[in-house]
C-alpha cells in the first residue's frame, strides 16, 4: 500500500498530499502521518508556506464512516486541525472533487482555500444523523455568516466553487492546474508577509449577528426535522458559534457529536449509507460483465409516469424518443413536461437555457418505427397484461437487436411479459416511483432469463439518471408494493374496531413517516385500488363504500378525508366517521380505543414479516436492500434505518410474540411469522445484516 500522506517541495513551499483511495477519508492511516508531518513542517524554517492537497479523484470526502462506533484513536481529526490551524505560516487547501464533512473541516483549518472550478463543498454529516464534529459548525459561520452556515449544515447540500468564492468560503477559484495555482497563491502570501489569520479568530461575520432572525430560521428548519435529532443539533451548534467563545462552542459541538454518533438514528443512517452502495451491486454481476452502451432511451407513454421517466433520463443527459398513441396525447405530455421545467425555472433551480437544452433532448413521435434507434426502451402504458404484451410484441419487431426492453409494471409478471417476445434475455422490469423525475428509488426486476449484461447496463443507467437501484426478483408487487399490501392488510379492521383514519395517520407521522396510509390513499386515488379489488374479487368494506359514493380522494375533494376548495390539507370528515361506525355496527363489532402500540403491531409488524418472507423466497438478495426500497420509495423514516433495521431495534422475539398473538386473534396470514423470522429471533441474530446467499 502506498504512503497515505507524502510531502514534496516546490522551492520553499511544501506540498502535502493525502492519498487514501477511494475518497481520501481521514482514516487513522491518514491522521497519524498527517499530524506528525504538520508538526514537522511547522518548525521547518526552510518552509515558508504549505499547500494541502489530495491525490485521486477528490479532496478529502470526510471522516472514515466505517470507523464510527469503534474505539477512537488519537490523533483524532480535531487534533490534526488544531495543529494545522496553529501553524504560523500561510496554509492553503487546494480543493478538487468534493470537500465533504471532515474534508471541508480540514480545509477550514487552513488559512486559505482554493477550489477547482468543478469542486463541490459541503458538510453533509446531517445525512448520517450527525453534526460536523471537527469544528465545522463553529468555523464555517465565521467565514460565510450564520445564515448560510445554518443552511449548508442543516441541509448538507453542496455549494459550487463559484458560490464558495462569493460567500467567502473559498479565496480563489482555479480554472486549471489547481496545485500550481495554490503554490503560486501560497508563495505570494508568504512573500508579502501578511499575517494569516486563522478562521477561529475571524469574528467579523458573527459579532452582531441577528440572533432573532437566526432563531426564526432555525425554528422553521426544526419543523421539517420529523423527529430527527441531527438537524436540531446542527442548528444549536451554529447558534453556539455566535453566542459562545470559540473553545466553548467547539467543546459543545464535540459533546453533541459524541452523543449523536452513538445513538440509534445515526447508526440507522450510516447503515443506509453503506446499504445503498451495496444495493448497487447485484449478486453475480461483477466488473467482468460489460454493460451495453446507452445513447438514447425510448419511453412509451407520455402520461404522468412516462413523462416523469422521460424527464429523469433527459435530466441525466440521455436523449429520449417519447412515444404516444396520438398527437393530442403527445402534445399533452410534452406540455406537462415543459410546465414542470418552467416551475423549476421560476423557483430558480434551473436556468432558461438549461430548460431549453433539456426540451431539445426530446424527440416526440407516434410511430413505433422511430424506436429503432433507441438502446433502452421502457414502456409506461396501462397496467394490464394484454396491453403490455401487445406493446412488447411491437417492440420485438422494431427494436434493434442489442436494445434493452423494460416494463414499468408495478405488479405484473415480468417473466410472462418477457416470454411474449422472441428475446426474453433482453427484457426486465424497471419500476419507477411517481413522480419519477423526483423519486430516487428504482426497483430493477430481474426476470428468469434476463441476461447479466442487461442488468449491468441498467445499473449503470440508474446511476447516470440519479436513481438508487435495488435489484429484485419477480413476485406479485415485487418488494415495495408487496410489503405495502402487508402493511395495509389489517388497516380496515383497525378502523372498524375503533381507530379513525386521522388517529392511524398520526401514529405514522409520529413515527416519522411523511404521511399516514389514509393520506397516501387519498393522494394516490382510491379508485385504483377499488378497480384492482373488483378484478380480483376482493373486498375492502370502508374503501369500497367511499368509492361507491364517488369519494376517490384528493382528486374528487373527498376520500378518507375532506379537502375543501381544492386544498391538499386533509380535514377529518364526520361523514366518514359515521360510515365507519355504521359499518362496524352492521358487523356487530364493538368499537374501543386503540393504542398507538397496537396500530404499529398490526400494521408495521406484518410488513417486517412480509420482508422476511421476501428474503426466504430470495426475491431480495439482502435485508439491507429492503431498507433501501422502503426509505427511498415509500418514506420509511431514515432515522429508523428501514423496516429490517428497525425490526432489530424493536427486538425480533417481541415481533414474533406479538405477530403470533394477533394471528391467534384474527387467523390472518399476514400475522403468521415466517420461519426465517422465528429462527433469527430464536438464535438471537439480527435481521439487518442478513444476506440470502450466506444465510
Ligand atoms: C464526517 O466527516 C464527520 C466529521 O465531521 C467529524 C469527525 C470527527 N468513509 O459513494 P461512492 C466509500 S462524516 C468511508 O460509491 P461516488 C463508499 O462506501 C463523513 N467510506 O462514490 C464506497 O465504497 P465501496 C462526511 C467512504 O463517486 C466508495 O467510497 N462525508 C466514505 O458516487 C465510493 O463511494 C460524507 O458523508 C467515507 N466518508 O461518490 C461523504 N465516502 O466502493 C460521503 C465514501 O466499497 N460520501 N466512501 O462501496 C459521499 O457522499 C460519496 O461517497 C462521494 C463519492 C460523493 C464522496
Tell me: the pLDDT tens digits for 449-465? 999 999 999 999 999 99
For residue 336, how far is its CA from the centre of ligand 1 (angstroms)? 37
Average pLDDT value for residue range 90-119: 98
Atom 16 of ligand 1, residue of closest alpha carbon:
23
Task: Give the active site residue among 85, 105, 229, 601.
Answer: 105
Identify the band that residue 532 occupies on the pLDDT scale cut at 50, 70 and 90: confident
CA–CA distance, 375 with 617 (Å, rounded to integer): 32
Identify the band that residue 228 occupies on the pLDDT scale cut at 50, 70 and 90: very high
What is the DSSP secondary-structure string of 225-279?
TTT-SHHHHHHHHHHHHHHS-HHHHHHHHHHHHHHHHTSHHHHHHHHHHHHHHHH
Atom 4 of ligand 1, residue of closest alpha carbon:
102
* CA quadruple 40, 42, 46, 49: dihedral sign: positive
Phi-psi category of residue 404: left, alpha or beta, with phi > 0 → left and psi -120 to 50 → alpha? beta
Query: For all residues of the chain together, what is the average pLDDT?
Result: 96
Per-residue pLDDT, 77: 97
Ligand 1 atom showing the smallest separation from residue 123 Cα: 25
Identify the band that residue 1 occupies on the pLDDT scale cut at 50, 70 and 90: low
For residue 619, how far is its CA from the centre of ligand 1 (angstroms)? 28
pLDDT in tens, 492-524: 999 999 999 999 999 999 999 999 999 999 998
125 is annotated as an active-site residue: yes
Coil, strand or helix: which one is 114?
A: strand
For residue 627, how far is its CA from the centre of ligand 1 (angstroms)? 19
Ligand 1 test: best mutation among 61, 100, 286, most atoms within 8 Å of CB?
Answer: 61
Per-residue pLDDT, 571: 97
| Residues in Cβ contact with 210 at an 8 Å cutoff, skipping those fewer than 6 apart | none
Ligand 1 test: best mutation among 4, 20, 22, most atoms within 8 Å of CB?
Answer: 22
Per-residue pLDDT, 170: 98
105 is annotated as an active-site residue: yes
Atom 50 of ligand 1, residue of closest alpha carbon:
61
Q: Which residues line ligand 1 (CB under 6 A)?
A: 22-23, 25, 61-66, 77, 98, 100-102, 105, 124-125, 128, 132-134, 136, 277
For residue 463, how far is its CA from the centre of ligand 1 (angstroms)? 16
Average pLDDT value for residue range 35-46: 97
Atom 47 of ligand 1, residue of closest alpha carbon:
23
Ligand 1 test: best mutation among 26, 34, 57, 65, most atoms within 8 Å of CB?
Answer: 65
Ligand 1 atom showing the smallest separation from residue 273 Cα: 18
Ligand 1 test: best mutation among 4, 20, 23, most atoms within 8 Å of CB?
Answer: 23
Q: pTM of this prediction?
A: 0.96
Atom 49 of ligand 1, residue of closest alpha carbon:
61
Identify the band that residue 695 occupies on the pLDDT scale cut at 50, 70 and 90: confident
Task: Give the active site residue among 125, 324, 379, 601.
Answer: 125
For residue 61, how far is its CA from the centre of ligand 1 (angstroms)? 6
pLDDT in tens, 130-179: 999 999 999 999 999 999 999 999 999 999 999 999 999 999 999 999 99
Whether the bond between 345 and the residue before it is cis, its omega within 30 degrees of 0, is no
Ligand 1 atom showing the smallest separation from residue 128 Cα: 36
Atom 30 of ligand 1, residue of closest alpha carbon:
62
For residue 316, how far is its CA from the centre of ligand 1 (angstroms)? 22
| Residues in Cβ contact with 477 at an 8 Å cutoff, skipping those fewer than 6 apart | 410, 411, 484, 485
Identify the band that residue 283 occupies on the pLDDT scale cut at 50, 70 and 90: confident
Query: Does residue 294 surpass a pLDDT of 80?
Result: yes
CA–CA distance, 233 with 230 (Å, rounded to integer): 5
For residue 414, how far is its CA from the centre of ligand 1 (angstroms)? 35
Ligand 1 atom showing the smallest separation from residue 76 Cα: 8
For residue 456, how far is its CA from the centre of ligand 1 (angstroms)? 23
CA 424 to chain centre: 32
Ligand 1 atom showing the smallest separation from residue 57 Cα: 27
For residue 468, how far is its CA from the centre of ligand 1 (angstroms)? 16
Query: Does residue 72 surpass a pLDDT of 90?
Result: no
Per-residue pLDDT, 307: 96
Identify the band that residue 194 occupies on the pLDDT scale cut at 50, 70 and 90: confident
Atom 39 of ligand 1, residue of closest alpha carbon:
23
Query: Does residue 4 surpass a pLDDT of 80?
Result: yes
Ligand 1 atom showing the smallest separation from residue 124 Cα: 36
Burial class (CB in 10 A: 0-12, 13-18, 19+), 151: middle
* Residue keyed to cell 423527529: 227
Atom 18 of ligand 1, residue of closest alpha carbon:
274
For residue 645, how far is its CA from the centre of ligand 1 (angstroms)? 21
The proportion of the chain whose per-residue pLDDT surpasses 70, expressed as a percent, equals: 100
Is residue 243 within 8 A of residue 218, CB to CB? The reply is no
Task: Give, as one character, the DSSP assignment of residue 298.
Answer: E
Amino acid at each position: 500500500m502506498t504512503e497515505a500522506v507524502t510531502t514534496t517541495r516546490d522551492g520553499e513551499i511544501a506540498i502535502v498530499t493525502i492519498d487514501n483511495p477511494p475518497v481520501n477519508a481521514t482514516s487513522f492511516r491518514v491522521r497519524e502521518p498527517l499530524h506528525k508531518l504538520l508538526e514537522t513542517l511547522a518548525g521547518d524554517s526552510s518552509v515558508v508556506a504549505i499547500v494541502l492537497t489530495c491525490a485521486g479523484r477528490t479532496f478529502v470526502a470526510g471522516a472514515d464512516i466505517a470507523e464510527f462506533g469503534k474505539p477512537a484513536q488519537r490523533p483524532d481529526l480535531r487534533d490534526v486541525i488544531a495543529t494545522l490551524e496553529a501553524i504560523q505560516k500561510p496554509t492553503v487547501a487546494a480543493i478538487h472533487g468534493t470537500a465533504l464533512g471532515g474534508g471541508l473541516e480540514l480545509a477550514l483549518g487552513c488559512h486559505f482555500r482554493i477550489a477547482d472550478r468543478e469542486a463541490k463543498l459541503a458538510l453533509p454529516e446531517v445525512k448520517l444523523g450527525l453534526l460536523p464534529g471537527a469544528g465545522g459548525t463553529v468555523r464555517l459561520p465565521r467565514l460565510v455568516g450564520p445564515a448560510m452556515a445554518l443552511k449548508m449544515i442543516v441541509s448538507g447540500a453542496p455549494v459550487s466553487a463559484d458560490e464558495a468564492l462569493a460567500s467567502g468560503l473559498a479565496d480563489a477559484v482555479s480554472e486549471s492546474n489547481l496545485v500550481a495555482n495554490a503554490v503560486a497563491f501560497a508563495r505570494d502570501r508568504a512573500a508579502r508577509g501578511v499575517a494569516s489569520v486563522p478562521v477561529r479568530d475571524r469574528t467579523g461575520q458573527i459579532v452582531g449577528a441577528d440572533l432573532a432572525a437566526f432563531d426564526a430560521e432555525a425554528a422553521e428548519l426544526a419543523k421539517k426535522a420529523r423527529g430527527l435529532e441531527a438537524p436540531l443539533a446542527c442548528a444549536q451548534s451554529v447558534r453556539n458559534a455566535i453566542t459562545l467563545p470559540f473553545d466553548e462552542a467547539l467543546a459543545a459541538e464535540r459533546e453533541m457529536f459524541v452523543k449523536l454518533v452513538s445513538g440509534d438514528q445515526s447508526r440507522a443512517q450510516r447503515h443506509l449509507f453503506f446499504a445503498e452502495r451495496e444495493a448497487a451491486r447485484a449478486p453475480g454481476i461483477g466488473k467482468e460483465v460489460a454493460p451495453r452502451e446507452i445513447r438514447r432511451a425510448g419511453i412509451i407513454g407520455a402520461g404522468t409516469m412516462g413523462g416523469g421517466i422521460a424527464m429523469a433520463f433527459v435530466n441525466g443527459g440521455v436523449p429520449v424518443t417519447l412515444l404516444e398513441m396520438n398527437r393530442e396525447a403527445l402534445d399533452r405530455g410534452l406540455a406537462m413536461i415543459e410546465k414542470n421545467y418552467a416551475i423549476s425555472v421560476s423557483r430558480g433551480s434551473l436556468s432558461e437555457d438549461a430548460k431549453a437544452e433539456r426540451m431539445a433532448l426530446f424527440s416526440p413521435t407516434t410511430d413505433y418505427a422511430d424506436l429503432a434507434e433507441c438502446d433502452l426502451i421502457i414502456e409506461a402504458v396501462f397496467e394490464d397484461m394484454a396491453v403490455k404484451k401487445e406493446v412488447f410484441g411491437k417492440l420485438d419487431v422494431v427494436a434493434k437487436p442489442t436494445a434493452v426492453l423494460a416494463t414499468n409494471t408495478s405488479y405484473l409478471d415480468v417473466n410472462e411479459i418477457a416470454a411474449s417476445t422472441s428475446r426474453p434475455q433482453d427484457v426486465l422490469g424497471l419500476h419507477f416511483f411517481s413522480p419519477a423525475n423526483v423519486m430516487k428509488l428504482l426497483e430493477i426486476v430481474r426476470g428468469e432469463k434476463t441476461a447479466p449484461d442487461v442488468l449491468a447496463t441498467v445499473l449503470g443507467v440508474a446511476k447516470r439518471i440519479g436513481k438508487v437501484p435495488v435489484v429484485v426478483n419477480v413476485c406479485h408487487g415485487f418488494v415495495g408494493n408487496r410489503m405495502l399490501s402487508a402493511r395495509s392488510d389489517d388497516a380496515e379492521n383497525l378502523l372498524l374496531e375503533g381507530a379513525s383514519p386521522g388517529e392511524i395517520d398520526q401514529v405514522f407521522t409520529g413515527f416519522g413517516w411523511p404521511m399516514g396510509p389514509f393520506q397516501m390513499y387519498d393522494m394516490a386515488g382510491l379508485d385504483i385500488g377499488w378497480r384492482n379489488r373488483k378484478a380480483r374479487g376482493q373486498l375492502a368494506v370502508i374503501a369500497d363504500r367511499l368509492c361507491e359514493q364517488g369519494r376517490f380522494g384528493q382528486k374528487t375533494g373527498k376520500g378518507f378525508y375532506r379537502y375543501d376548495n381544492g386544498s391538499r390539507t386533509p380535514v377529518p370528515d364526520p361523514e366518514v366517521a359515521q360510515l365507519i361506525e355504521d359499518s362496524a355496527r352492521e358487523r356487530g363489532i364493538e368499537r374501543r380505543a386503540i393504542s398507538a402500540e397496537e396500530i404499529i403491531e398490526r400494521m408495521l409488524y406484518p410488513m417486517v414479516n412480509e420482508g422476511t418472507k421476501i428474503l426466504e423466497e430470495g426475491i431480495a438478495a439482502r435485508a439491507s436492500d429492503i431498507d433501501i426500497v422502503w426509505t427511498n420509495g415509500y418514506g420509511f423514516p431514515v432515522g429508523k434505518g428501514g423496516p429490517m433495521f428497525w425490526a432489530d431495534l424493536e427486538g425480533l422475539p417481541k415481533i414474533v410474540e406479538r405477530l403470533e398473538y394477533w394471528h391467534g386473534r384474527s387467523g390472518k396470514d399476514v400475522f403468521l411469522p415466517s420461519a426465517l423470522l422465528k429462527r433469527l429471533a430464536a438464535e438471537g441474530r439480527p435481521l439487518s445484516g442478513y444476506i440470502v446467499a450466506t444465510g
